[in-house]
Amino acid sequence: MSEFTRPKNAEELGNNFKQIKPLMNATMAYYESSRCLFCYDAPCVQACPTAIDIPLFIRQINTGNVKGAAKTIYDSNYFANTCGKVCPTEVLCEGACVYNHQDVKPIEIGRLQSYASTYVLTKDEPLYQPGQGNGKKVAIIGAGPAGISAACDLRLSGYDVDVYEAKSHPSGLVIYGVAPYKITNQEALDEVEYLQKQFNFNIFYNSPISGEAEFKKLEANYQAIFIGIGLGNTSALRIGGEDLLHCAGATEFIERIKIDPFNTHIGDKVVVIGGGNTAMDAASEAARMGAPEVYLAYRRAKDQKGAYEFEYDLAKAVGVKGLFNVSPVQILGKDKVTGIRFIRTKQEGNKLIPIEGSEFDFLCDMVIKATGQSKLKDFLNQIGGIDLNLNGTIKVNDQFQTTNPKYFASGDAVNGGKEVVNAVAEAKIAAKGIHEFLSAQA
Amino acid sequence: MPNLASNLAGIKSPNPFWLASAPPTNSGYQVMKAFDAGWGGAVWKTLGVPIINTSSRYGSVNYKSNRMIGLNNIELITDRPLKDNLREIEEVKKYFPNHAVIASLMVETREEWHQIIKDCENAGADGLELNFGCPHGMCERGMGSAVGQEPSVLETITGWVKEVATVPVIVKLTPNITDITEPALAAVKGGADAISLINTIQSIVGVDLDNFVPFPNVDGKSTNGGYCGPAVKPIALNMVKNCALEPGMTIPISGIGGIETWRDAVEHIVLGATNVQVCTAVMHYGFGIVREMITGLEDYMVSKGFETMDQLIGRALNQVKTWENLNLKYKVVADINTEKCIECQLCYTACEDGAHQAIGLPENGKRIPYIIEENCVGCNLCSLVCPVEECITMVRKDDASKHETWKDYLNNDKAPTSFNDDRAGGVGHWIPDPKSALKKK
């Protein structure tokens, strides 16, 4: 039997999706912060894409200056609370902690960060006020981590900022894509609300920008435009049976769970196709939603999967089983999924070779494709002069300015799909770029 | 098995671990429980005319996650009538005839001293300890440290006590004095059979920064207290050593101050203490810590081949010299074990900012620091800040053939004598250009 039963109410859902990095209490934070060695030129800072002064904020927590600690974090990263919870700290700051060299548990930097940020969030303690208005306006497309971070920095520099968001909530994938055991939707929303209150930018929800006319209007009304649109839906596998009932994309499946968990279809035997972090999340979440059997199917060997080891461990811990060196050939079923036909593969040098005659049918009643999100080429093609890279990401210079100088871009749409912290880091550079670009024009 | 039996000026106890006169020895219940747990002796909470205490009495110094590395208190002597204490002393001695019960005393007049000594001896006390150390409250009334700070008064009162005492008399000294040997010698002159030290150090442990009241807070006001706990051990060890090395010290020493483990106790003993007294560690962890102290001491003695306590007492004293007698030709430099290094670079920044700029960082982005031997003065700082045991060690570089002390330097006209003397020790040491500091992180 599966470890989890299908959650019927919010309480059961909460139990199935217990936070893996729960909030520390004051004593835990004090003890944990006491352990920090205050390294010189600390490796944790070097490992953080937003270069948060981690030893400083930990020391501030230890001396009871928790608000000061939060300020240290927010100065480098506006998604302080979110990143403390959703960052893959195991491979970033905590992975770089020198205690690892001593086989001592690294400092729980992520949880300490959330401890400090939660302090200001729950007390509603403001840390910033917008800069003196400079009369210039910037439009931001997408209220995800990139867009909101850019909005905050631009407000500090005195710009009027309007954020246009296609969906009904801010935070992008933090709300719609991050596994619920990493952060709750409420926590994600609270952080954006906290920022919006201080920086006082506008967010227009349910306001997708589409059509050349709308872009022309934006260009007429704003001196610069920031694109933080992320990625699109799950890419097609281009095999038969993808349109069968109960064959879903991972991004869409996870979004459904986060928005409408009690009406999300969960199969009895679920196969998740893919070997990345999203595949691990989708498999883990299917199991926590009560699927009795969940399999990960990856076309390469186990050690070649893209997912972080700790993400794989999380999936394994809830009973997910792995199938490796299997490539889907056909999704089986008449109107709904009844199985997948796989072919076994082997690695020869850099090439993955299907083994002829090794096809086999694997019965299941749900397939989740976690094989990457598509790039929003059609959307971007509506804007004149924006070049894309071969892989469909937006081409930018080192200030994250696109080939159309009025447009800057950051986040998944540029980096092809990375962490929240990368989006924040890039957006801060882009905001600086916009400021320099517009200052030079005046 | 080594024999832990202890004898301080004729006061015998099954081991050298006594409870100091303090809250843990306030009652017969506590002392019985302590003896039952393994303590060898107890100095009763100071007897005298009972006092009235404040509510809110202790303040603590915490260091990071470690609580109570230092404690201060403003509690006074016993607040219980003498007859109750005497009855309980008698009862304890009935159950534990071979354990040491010492009555700590603090009264004012000669008559009071004579009376209370007779009462305590009648109750069965094995010895008397004169509390000339308490640095808060009682000293304002001319007792406690007020006596310990006036060697002649100390000597006089000790004399009064010796007029009637038939059991050994220990004089407990206050550390709140410039030279501890002065009151120690006064105790000898007064006829004391032993001294004990240190009593607590006058202190303010901290201030509440919200209301500006120092700790402990007594209805919005505070007062200086007496400081004790692990943080005071270095001060106690030095004073014990000073007394032990004093030529006129003909009586034994009971060591007190910052003792929590067998190691602390042995340190006191090898610096000249005959036995030790413990308070704060018991207030923190209870009487049970004595089990660790006893087994630790036994194991240590076995491993070193000691059989009796006498063999340990003062064992380190011959290795303590005045500064002028240290060998200036001895030269150590730091050595970093790159296998053990965890790359925190605390040694680098400590040496760079706090010492002699004798540690470098590799240019290639690697993080393991290296020692610049010609700049290293052998100060030990890097090895002290290093969080890894035995990662940075100090390696001897001289060939041990030369031994020249400051005293020798003076005698041989090798010591610098004027402000710009080129015989200064730092001449020839590399010092970076001051302006180069500005480019650094």
Residue B11 sits at the vertex; the CA angle it makes with B10 and B15, to the nearest 5 degrees, is 120
Query: Which residues lie closer than 8 Å to A44 by C-beta, 6 or more apart?
Result: A54, A55, A93, A94, A96, A97, A107, A109
Active site residue B134: yes
Residue A103: its chain B contacts at CB < 8 A?
A: none
pLDDT at A353 over 90: yes
* Contact residues on chain A for B385, CB-CB shorter than 8 A: none
When pLDDT is cut at 50, 70 and 90, the band that residue B428 belongs to is confident
CA dihedral A200, A202, A206, A209 (to 10 degrees): -140
Q: What is the pLDDT of residue A442?
A: 63
Indicate yes or no: CB of B388 within 8 angstroms of CB of A102: yes
Cα A119 from Cα A57, distance rounded (Å): 13
* Cβ contact A40–B349 (<8 Å): yes
Query: What pLDDT sits at residue B290?
Result: 98
Give pLDDT tens digits for B304-319: 999 999 999 999 999 9
pLDDT tops 90 at residue A2: no
Q: Decide if A102 and B387 are in contact by the 8 Å CB cutoff.
A: yes
CA distances from B344 to A42, B340, B366, B367 (A): 7, 11, 12, 8
Backbone conformation region of residue A121, classed left if phi is above 0, alpha if psi is from -120 to 50, else beta? alpha
Select the residue of A34, A40, A98 nearest B342 (Cβ to Cβ).
A98
Q: Are B81 and B88 in contact (CB under 8 A)?
A: no
Give per-residue pLDDT as tens, B279-289: 999 999 999 99
The per-residue b/e assignment along A223-250, b for 16 or more CB within 10 angstroms, e otherwise, is bbbbbbbbbbebeebeeebbebebbbbb
Per residue in A168-179, pLDDT (tens digit) is 999 989 888 999
Residue B367 to residue A43, Cβ atoms within 8 A: yes
Task: Copy the structure tokens of residue B273.
Answer: 């203490």
| Interface predicted TM-score (ipTM) | 0.87
Among residues B226, B237, B224, B236, the alpha carbon closest in space to that of B270 is found at B237
Do B341 and A38 lie within an 8 Å CB cutoff?
Answer: no
Q: State pLDDT tens for residues B129-138.
A: 999 999 999 9
Task: Tell whether the model's pLDDT for residue B220 goes beyond 80.
Answer: yes
Q: Please list every residue in chain B whose beta carbon sits closer than 8 Å to the beta carbon of residue A30.
A: 65
The confidence score (pLDDT) of residue B65 equals 87
Tokens of B421: 């003397």
Q: What is the DSSP letter of A395?
A: P
Q: What is the mean pLDDT of chain B?
A: 96
A104 to chain B: nearest residue by CA?
B342
Burial B327-365 (b: 16+ CB within 10 A, else e): ebeebbbbbbeeeebbbbbbbbbbbbeebbbbbebeeee
What would the DSSP string read from start to end of B3-62? B--EEETTEEESSSEEE-SSGGGSSHHHHHHHHHHT--EEEEEEESS---PPS--EEEEE
> Can you tell me the distance from the alpha carbon of A402 to that of A230, in angstroms, rounded to the nearest whole number?
15
Best of A63, A97, A98 to mutate (most B CBs within 10 Å, chain B) = A98
pLDDT in tens, B172-198: 999 999 999 999 999 999 999 999 999
Residue of A nearest to B338 (CA): A101
Looking at chain A, the whole-number percentage of residues with pLDDT higher than 90 is 93
B346 contacts A39? CB cut-off 8 A: yes
On the question of pLDDT at B439 being above 80, the answer is no
Task: Decide if A54 contacts A44 (C-beta within 8 A).
Answer: yes
Q: Which residues of A touch B (CB under 8 A)?
A: 30-31, 34-35, 37-41, 43, 62, 98-99, 101-102
Q: Tell me whether residues B344 and A31 touch, CB distance under 8 A.
A: no
Contact predicate A361/A332, CB 8 Å: yes
Which residues of chain A make contact with B367, given a CB cutoff of 8 A?
41, 43
- pLDDT of residue A80 exceeding 60, the answer is yes
Contacts of A7 (CB under 8 A, 6+ apart): A13, A15, A16, A261, A262, A289, A290
* Rounded mean pLDDT, A225-246: 94
- Please state the length of chain B: 441
Closest CA–CA distance from residue B33 to any residue of chain A (Å):
32
Q: B434 — alpha (psi -120 to 50), left (phi > 0) or beta? A: alpha
What is the predicted pLDDT for the residue at B210?
97
- Cβ-based contacts of A39 with chain B (< 8 Å): 343-346
| A100: confidence class by pLDDT, cuts 50, 70, 90 | very high
The helix-helix angle for B28-37 and B82-95 (nearest 10°) equals: 20
Sign of CA dihedral A44, A50, A51, A55: negative
Amino acid at site A129? Q
Q: What is the mean pLDDT of chain A?
A: 95
What was the pLDDT predicted at B365? 85
Query: Are B346 and A102 in contact (CB < 8 Å)?
Result: no
* pLDDT over threshold 70, residue A35: yes
- Token pair for A389: 């890279």
Residue A3 has pLDDT above 90, yes or no: no
Cα–Cα dist B24/B42, whole Å: 9
pLDDT of residue A78: 98
Instruction: Assign A210 a pLDDT band (cuts: 50, 70, 90).
Output: confident
Name, in order, each residue with C-beta under 8 angstroms of B327's C-beta and a sequence gap of 6 or more. Answer: B402, B403, B404, B405
- With beta carbons less than 8 A apart as the criterion, state whether A297 and A286 touch: no
Is pLDDT above 80 for B347? Answer: yes
Partners of B344 on chain A (C-beta within 8 Å) are 37, 39-40, 98
Chain A residue with the nearest C-alpha to that of B209? A64
Give B66's contacts in chain A (Cβ within 8 Å).
34
Going by pLDDT thresholds of 50, 70 and 90, the confidence category of residue B429 is confident
Q: Does the N-terminal peptide bond of residue B198 adopt cis geometry, omega within 30 degrees of 0?
A: yes
- Shortest CA distance to A142 belongs to which of A112, A122, A162? A162
- The two tokens of residue B66 are 């470690």
Residue A380 has pLDDT above 70, yes or no: yes
pLDDT of residue A76: 98
Q: What's the pLDDT at B398? A: 96
pTM over 0.80: yes
Q: Taking residues A253-268, what's their average pLDDT?
A: 93
Cβ atoms of B32 and B96 within 8 Å: the answer is: yes
At B441, the pLDDT band (50, 70, 90 cuts) reads low
Q: CA-to-CA distance for B300 and B169, rounded, in angstroms? A: 31
Contact of A248 with A339, CB cutoff 8 Å: no
Burial string for B122-153 (b: 16+ CB within 10 Å, else e) reads ebbbbbbbbbbbbbbbbbeeebbbbbbbbbeb
pLDDT digits over B2-46, tens only? 999 999 999 999 999 999 999 999 999 999 999 999 999 999 999
**Active-site choice (B134, B139, B351, B376):** B134
The pLDDT assigned to B153 comes to 97
Coil, strand or helix: which one is A47?
helix
> Distance between CA B132 and CA B138 in Å, rounded?
10
Give the model's pLDDT for residue A350: 87
Put simply, the answer to whether A37 touches B367 (Cβ < 8 Å) is no
Test the B interface: residue of A27, A40, A98 with most B CBs within 10 Å: A40
